[in-house]
Structure 1
Amino acid sequence: MEQKLATRRSFLSLAALVPIAAYTLTACGSSGPGDTSAGGASIWSLSGQPDEGIRQATVDTFNEANSDSRIKITYFQNDAYKTKIKTAIGAGQAPTIIYGWGGGTLRTYAEAGQVDDLTSWFEENPDVKDRLLDSTFGAATIDGKIYAIPTQTVTPIIFYYNKELFDQAGAEPPATWDDLMSLTKTFNDMGVAPLSLGGQSRWTSMMWLEYLYDRVGGPEVFTAIYNGEPDAWSNPAAIQATTMIQDLVKANGFIKGFTSITADSNADQALLYTNKAAMMLHGGWTYGGMKNDGAGFVEDGKLGWVNFPTVEGGTGDPANTVGNPAGYQSISSKASESEKEAAKKYFKDGLLTDTEIDAYIETGSVPIVKDIEDKLAQSDDSEFLTFQYELTKNAPNFQQSWDQALSPTAAEALLSNIDQLFLLSITPEEFADNMNATLGT
C-alpha cells in the first residue's frame, strides 16, 4: 500500500498538463551502488515524469560545474526502488545518497546506523537549512537529530468544494466541524452526496483522521503514537476524533458506496467535478487531475478550496496541516569520505537551484523553498499554488502522512483498522485497542 501511495502522491500533480520536452534526458546509470571510481557520489532516484526530467537536468548542470564531484544517477520505478534500496542497505551496498520519504522508514535506517547524522553539517551550513520551509524538517528529524535533507515539492491535504453546488445551496464552505455536519444535511436534502471518498483505497479515509486528531488534540496526540508511548491510541482526543468520524458516516456524510470507490482511478475526483458530490478531502496533487479531466471545471472557477475545519473546544492550531512535506535524501553511513563530501556539495549547490525551482513551478508544483511568492504569482495556477505554499509555510505543525510516518507493519494495520472504522464494524475503542497492539512495531 505504501508503494502505491508514494507513487500517486509524488507524481500526480499538474505534470499531465505541461510539456516536458525542455527537460531532455541523457543516458544514465551505474554498474553498482558504489560505482564512483572517477570521484563523486551515486544516487538512485525514481523514474516518472516530470520529476525524472527535472532531476536529470539538475544533475547534469551540477556535473558540468563539478567534474571532481560528479553525481552518478540511476532510475528505478517506484515499487522496484523500494525493494532494491532495502536490500542494498541491508547488504551495506547502498548508493551514496539514499532517496526516501522520511518518517518511519528513515527512523529504522537511523536507529540501525545506516545513514549519517547531518545535524552538525546543517549547523555549519545554516544558509542551506534557512532557505527551506521549516515545516519540511519534521519528517527528517529523529530524536532531535536531522538525518536527511528535504527536497523537491510539498503536497498538503486540502479541503476542496464545488462552488457551483454551494451557490445552488446558498451555502459557504465549512469553517467548523459543526458547519460540516450541517452541510451534510443540506446536500443530502438536495440529492447530492456531501462528500466524495475513494474509501476502497483506505489511505483517503486516513486523511480525515490525520486532521481530526490534530484539530481535537493537537500534534502531541500523534507524536505520542509515533514515539510508541503505551496506549497512545487511547488518548481521549483520539477517541473523540474517531467517534466524530463515525458520526459523519452515520449522517450519510460520504457518498453511498464509498467503500467500492478507488482513488487510483480518480473516480473520487470525478464525483466532485461532475456535481455528484459537493466536497472532497484530498491531496494537493488532485488539482492537476481535476484540471486535466474536469472539462473546464477548474478553468471556469467552479473548484474552491479551504483549510480543514476547526473543532469547537479542540486544542490543535487551526493553521496546522497534514500530508507530504517533501521528498528526502540521506547519506549512507557506508559511503567513503570522498563520496560523502561529494554528496554534501550536491546538497549545498545542486538541489533546488533557481532553474529547478522554476521547472517545478512550471509543472504546477510547489517547491519547498522560502521567498518564492513572486514566482508562484506568475503561474497560470497562481491562486492554488500560493494557497498550498502559504498553508505549508505558515503551518506551526505539518504532520507527515501516517502510513509513511509509521513503520510498514504499523501502517498496514492502521489502514486495515481505518477501513473497519469507516464501515462501522468496530467501535472507536476497538480501533484504539487494535492499534495500541502495534505500538513499537
Structure 2
Amino acid sequence: MAIPLSRRTFLGLAAAVPASAALSACGSSGPSESGGGASYWYLSGQPQEGVRTNALKAFNKAHPKEKIKGTTFPNDAYKTKIKTAIGAGQAPTMIWGWGGGTLRSYVKAGQVEDLTSWFGDHPEVKKRVFPSSFGPATIDGKIYAMPVETVQPIVLYYNKKVFDQVGVKPPQSWGDIMALVPKFKAKGIAPFSLGGQSRWTNMMWLEFLFDRIGGPEVFQAVFDGEKDAWSNPAAIDALGKVQELVKAGGFVKGFSSITADSNADQALLYTGKAAMMLHGSWSYGIQKADGGDFVSGGGLGFMNFPPVEGGKGDPSDTVGNPGQYLYISSKASAEQKKIAKDYFTKGVLQPAEVKDWIGTGAVPLLLGTEKQLDASEDAAFLKFTYDVASKAKTFAQSWDQALSPTAAETLLDNIVKLFQLSISPKKFAANLNEVLGK
C-alpha cells in the first residue's frame, strides 16, 4: 500500500518574495496536461500527484470543449509561487490549497471567488461531501472553496499487546489517561510516544483538550481574532492539563529531541517501548509499512480522543485535516470560472478518483463510500476514519493551518516552551493574545 504524505507538507504559505523573482525562479515539474481555457496548479509528489492528474485527464477527455491545463509544483516551490502569483494578478483559474488562515488572507484581498450562492444553486454538490469539510472553506459565514480529496483526522493509537501485558484497557476519559501513566511507567514503558522536536505533534494535544473541555467555540474565538481569546478559562484549563501530563512523566523521556519526520515516535509505539501515541491518520500506513507484522497481526489499536470529565465538548468531534481545497481566482474570466465550476460538479471525486484515493490508503471525503472501504485490506481502519470524519459535528482544522503564518509560528514556538514547562499557561495565553488577528 502506498503511504500518504505526512500532513506536515500542509504548513502555511512561505513569506512573499518579489513577484518577478518568484515567478521566474520557482520551478515546476512542467504541465501535466495541455490545452484549454482554464488553468490549475497543484502539488507534485506521488501517490497524490497521480490521483490528481488522472482525475484532470478524465475530465478533459469527457469535456473536450472545457479543457483545463494542469501544472504541478513541488511543495515548497508551490507555497511561494502561488502566493506571489495571486498577489501579482497572475493566479491560475483553480488554486489548490488548505483553506483556513491563508484562504482568509486571500478573501480579505478580494483574490478568490465567493462561492456561497453557487453552492446554494447546486445543493447536490455540497451534499456529496462530508459536512465537516466546509469549515476551513468558510470565512465569515461565506464559502470560498470546494472541499476535495481526502480526510485526515488525528487518532489516538495504542499498542494492544502492551495493554494486555500491563493488564489495562484503553482510556475512556482524561482521568483514565492520567491513571494509566504510573501503571505503564512501573513496567518501564513510556505511556505516550511524542516527536516533540517537530512542535506540531505537541499541538495535537492542545487541539483536542481545548475542544473536549470548552467545545469548538474556544478555538473559533481565536480564529475570529476575538480579544484575549487565548485566555478563555477552558483554554487555561487545557494548557494546565498538558503540563500536568508532562510533570507526571506521561511522555517518553527525551521527547523534545525526537523528530516526527524520522518516524522515530511511531517506532516507539510498534516496538512496544511506548503504549500510546496521538498522531494523524497517515501514521497508519507508516506503521503498516515499517512495523513488521504489528498492524497485520492485530497489534495496533485506534480510537478517537476521549472526553474530559465535566467538559463541554462533544467526544465525537475531531481535529486534523478536514480536506484539501480548490479556490477560483477572482481575476479569472467568466468562461474560466464556468469551466472551474463544471470541474467541481463533474470532475471532483468521480468513481475512478475515489478508487485511486482508497488505493493509497486514504479516505476520500465523499459520503457513501462504505462498501468500497469494506473491500480494502485496511477496511477496519478506513471505516474508523470514515466514521470519525463523517459523524463529527465539528472537524477542526489543524491550528497551524487555520491561523495566519505569523500567528502559527508564534503558536508553535510557545507550545515548545509549554511542554518544556518554561512558561505557565497564563504566559502562553498572553503571548498568543498578542498575535490575535495578525
TM-score interval, normalised by the smaller of the two chains = over 0.9
User: Which of 229, 238, 241 is 2:238 aligned to?
Assistant: 241
SS of the equivalent of 2:31 reads coil
**Match for residue 284 of structure 1?**
281
The verdict on how the C-alpha distance between 1:30 and 1:319 changes in structure 2, with shifts beyond 3 A counting, is: closer
Render the CA deviation track for 1:206-249: whole Å, top value 9, x for unaligned: 00000000000000000000011010000000000000000000
Q: Does 1:84 align with 2:86?
A: no
**Match for residue 150 of structure 1?**
147
User: Which of 84, 96, 101 is 1:99 aligned to?
Assistant: 96
User: Which of 309, 313, 332 is 1:312 aligned to?
Assistant: 309
Question: Is the Cα contact below 8 Å between 2:154 and 2:204 reproduced in 1?
Answer: yes
Report how far residue 40 of structure 1 moved: 2.8
**Match for residue 9 of structure 2?**
7
**Match for residue 15 of structure 1?**
none
Report how far residue 186 of structure 1 moved: 0.5
SS of the equivalent of 1:253 reads coil
Render the CA deviation track for 1:43-76: whole Å, top value 9, x for unaligned: 1110011111111111111111111111100010
Alignment of 1:54-69 (within 5 A): 54-69=51-66
Question: CA–CA distance in 1 between the matches of 2:7 and 2:318?
Answer: 18
Question: Is the Cα contact below 8 Å between 2:10 and 2:401 reproduced in 1?
Answer: no
Q: Does 1:137 align with 2:140?
A: no
Question: Is the Cα contact below 8 Å between 1:319 and 1:394 reproduced in 2?
Answer: yes
The verdict on how the C-alpha distance between 1:30 and 1:158 changes in structure 2, with shifts beyond 3 A counting, is: closer
User: Which of 43, 46, 49 is 2:46 aligned to?
Assistant: 49
Question: CA–CA distance in 1 between the matches of 2:227 and 2:356?
Answer: 45
Report how far residue 124 of structure 1 moved: 1.0
Question: CA–CA distance in 1 between the matches of 2:166 and 2:306?
Answer: 19
SS of the equivalent of 1:115 reads coil
Question: Is the Cα contact below 8 Å between 2:32 and 2:72 reproduced in 1?
Answer: no
Question: Is the Cα contact below 8 Å between 1:41 and 1:342 reproduced in 2?
Answer: yes
User: Which of 298, 316, 337 is 2:334 aligned to?
Assistant: 337
SS of the equivalent of 1:275 reads coil
Report how far residue 30 of structure 1 moved: 8.2
Render the CA deviation track for 1:126-160: whole Å, top value 9, x for unaligned: 11110111000000000111000000000000000
Question: CA–CA distance in 2 between the matches of 1:284 and 1:243?
Answer: 27
Equivalenced residue count is: 417
Q: Give the 4+ runs in structure 1 shifted more than 2 A.
A: 3-6
Give 1:29's aligned amino acid. P
User: Which of 112, 115, 121 is 1:115 aligned to?
Assistant: 112
The verdict on how the C-alpha distance between 1:212 and 1:276 changes in structure 2, with shifts beyond 3 A counting, is: same
- Structure 2 unaligned segments of length 5 or more: list them: 12-28
Report how far residue 6 of structure 1 moved: 3.7
**Match for residue 18 of structure 1?**
none
Render the CA deviation track for 1:332-378: whole Å, top value 9, x for unaligned: 00011111111111111001001100111111100001111111101
TM-score by length of 1: 0.93
Q: Does 1:226 align with 2:228?
A: no
Give 1:292's aligned amino acid. A
Once the two structures are overlaid, the 10-residue window that deviates more, 55-64 or 134-143, is 55-64
**Match for residue 410 of structure 2?**
413
Report how far residue 181 of structure 1 moved: 0.4
Render the CA deviation track for 1:249-274: whole Å, top value 9, x for unaligned: 00000000000000001010000011
Question: CA–CA distance in 2 between the matches of 1:144 and 1:62?
Answer: 31
**Match for residue 323 of structure 1?**
320
Q: Does 1:367 align with 2:364?
A: yes
Question: Is the Cα contact below 8 Å between 1:40 and 1:343 reproduced in 2?
Answer: no
Question: CA–CA distance in 2 between the matches of 1:111 and 1:218?
Answer: 27
Give 1:160's aligned amino acid. Y
Identity over aligned pairs, percent: 61
SS of the equivalent of 1:310 reads coil
The RMSD of aligned alpha carbons is: 1.5
Question: Is the Cα contact below 8 Å between 1:162 and 1:275 reproduced in 2?
Answer: yes
Q: Does 1:164 align with 2:166?
A: no
- Structure 1 unaligned segments of length 5 or more: list them: 10-26
SS of the equivalent of 1:174 reads coil
Report how far residue 125 of structure 1 moved: 1.0
